Amino acid sequence: MSIRNRILVFAILVTLVPSLGLGWLYFSQAEKAVRESARQELATTAAHVERELQLWLKERFYEIRVFSSSYLLTGALETLHREEGSRGALANIHDYLSLIRDQYGIYTAFQLFDEGGEPILQDPADGHSWQLPANWRQQLGRQKGFTGEFSRKGENNIRLLLGVPITSREGLLQGLLAASVESSALATLFTSPVVEKGKPVSTLLLVNRQGRVLFESGPPGLSRETLPQADELFRGASELMEYPSGQRGRVLAMLKPVQGHPWGIVVEMDRKALFANLESVRNSAILLVLGMVALIGFFAWLLARGILNPLRELTQAAQRVAEGDFDVSVQVRRSDELGFATVVFNDMVMQLRQSRERLELLTTTDSLTGLLNRKGITEGFSTFLVRYRRHQRVCFVFLLLEMYVWKCWSDLSNVFNWDVL
């Protein structure tokens, strides 16, 4: 790996490692904080709806108990017990229940049972016939009233059966009065917390322990018949859970059991909407980190270029010197370590050039006389011969012959003391 690539990799790692580490730490803590905030909000909403539902049931039981304590009803039941099949008593009960149903629109039907749970009559007569819950006696002993199952006929036709005992003046059980309650009141009850908190992405559900959805505040087209996660929600009541919810995507949910009833209040919140701000910040942080990586990479490239270009010039100059070219000179452009190395390199090349010139001078001159030796004369002859051939000058040949004759005469005369000569 080249030095430039090493610098780039180091710069990118120095940028990415702290950024990713700190980013992961921040977003993990932020996600925990958002989940904790959602858990508290869901718990508050579920507790609020559970209290409102208990209050609503208490009011309905109170109203039905008032209806059951009327003398018209108790007297008619006493008449039925004394004279079985009395048409007058049944007509009076029917008229009384019809009057109540007309005055209280929330009640869609009434049904009268004897003390053994057998049906006596219902109003309206052609309405839906209800079955008492199997544990109605246990419910009466626990809360002086019983709650039946929800009846669903379509998405908007949901009814609940509520009943109370009818007792005589002596406190003896004479029968049971059950009333069918419309779900419109529950719709207001389940949607008001969502609207008040300004969280349209939240959904409220009323489910039983078998996972059947008794009521849902979401859009009608997205209503569910069952909730597969109900059993797990009941086991982990008041704990935050996350699961897929069909077309809604993933949701965060919490269940609050309804005290005294086999129901649970489930509050769901859209995970995407909940973490929208955090994901937006995360995406911005990713873009910021990428921008920082690009910026740091650019500066690292400039740094590597500032280091490698002078080194490349020195390398090329060194190759030229190695090939025998001692006229190389690298321009000094900076005053740092690379500039000092360039100055030293230029001094070295200059000293090599001077050393070579001295060496060439020693190889072409006589060490005693300082005159050209045979090699020097040969090289000079070659040089002047080339010049002669270029310029066609005759004086060169004459001078060469003169020098040659002088050299022969000096050799023949045995003149060795050149300094005296």
Query: 177: domain range?
Result: 18-181
175 and 195 in a single domain? The answer is: no
Q: Is residue 333 part of a domain?
A: no
User: Do 32 and 168 belong to one domain?
Assistant: yes
- Smallest CA-to-CA distance from 304 within 19, 10, 90, 43 is with 10
Note the pTM of the prediction, 2 decimals: 0.65
167 with 192, same domain: the answer is no
Measured in degrees and rounded to the nearest 5, phi and psi for residue 139 equal -65, -40
Last residue of a domain, one of 208, 243, 277: 277
Per-residue pLDDT band for 81 (boundaries 50, 70, 90) equals low
pLDDT band at 220 (very low <50, low <70, confident <90, very high): low
Confidence of residue 221 (pLDDT cuts 50, 70, 90): low
Q: What is the pLDDT of residue 255?
A: 92
Helix (H, G, I), strand (E, B) or coil at 328: coil
Last residue of a domain, one of 163, 181, 199: 181
Q: Tell me how far apart the alpha carbons of residues 63 and 103 are, in angstroms, rounded to a whole number.
A: 12
With a cut of 60, say whether residue 393 has pLDDT above it. no
The CATH code of the domain that includes 141 is: 3.30.450.20
Could you tell me the two tokens for 256? 């609050």
pLDDT at 371 over 60: yes
Checking if the pLDDT of 22 tops 80, the result is yes
Same domain, 123 and 29: yes
Q: How many residues does the chain have?
A: 421
The tokens describing 10, both together, are 């180091």
Same domain, 263 and 118: no
Distance CA 75, CA 73 (A): 5
State whether 244 and 156 are in the same domain. no
Query: Residue 16 is encoded by which pair of tokens?
Result: 């990415």
Residue 300 lies in a domain: no
Judged against a pLDDT cut of 70, whether residue 396 lies above it is answered with no
In DSSP terms, 179 is beta-bridged to 110, 162
Which of residues 357 and 259 earns the better pLDDT score?
259
pLDDT tens-digit profile of 259-313? 888 889 998 888 888 888 888 888 888 888 888 888 888 888 888 777 778 888 8
Among 225, 260, 277, give the residue marking a domain's end.
Answer: 277
Which two three-digit tokens encode residue 260? 């005294």
pLDDT of residue 416: 46
Same domain membership, residue 65 and residue 165: yes
Residue 370 has pLDDT above 80, yes or no: no
Is residue 269 situated within a structural domain?
Answer: yes
- Examine residue 2 and state whether it is found in any structural domain, yes or no: no
Rounded distance between C-alpha atoms, residue 83 and residue 86, angstroms: 6
Dihedral, 323, 327, 333, 335 alpha carbons, nearest 10: 90
CA distance 209 to 230: 7
Query: In terms of domains, do 42 and 112 share one?
Result: yes
Tell me the percentage of the chain whose pLDDT exceeds 90.
1
Distance separating alpha carbons of residues 99 and 68, to the nearest angstrom:
13
How many angstroms separate the CA atoms of 28 and 133, rounded? 49
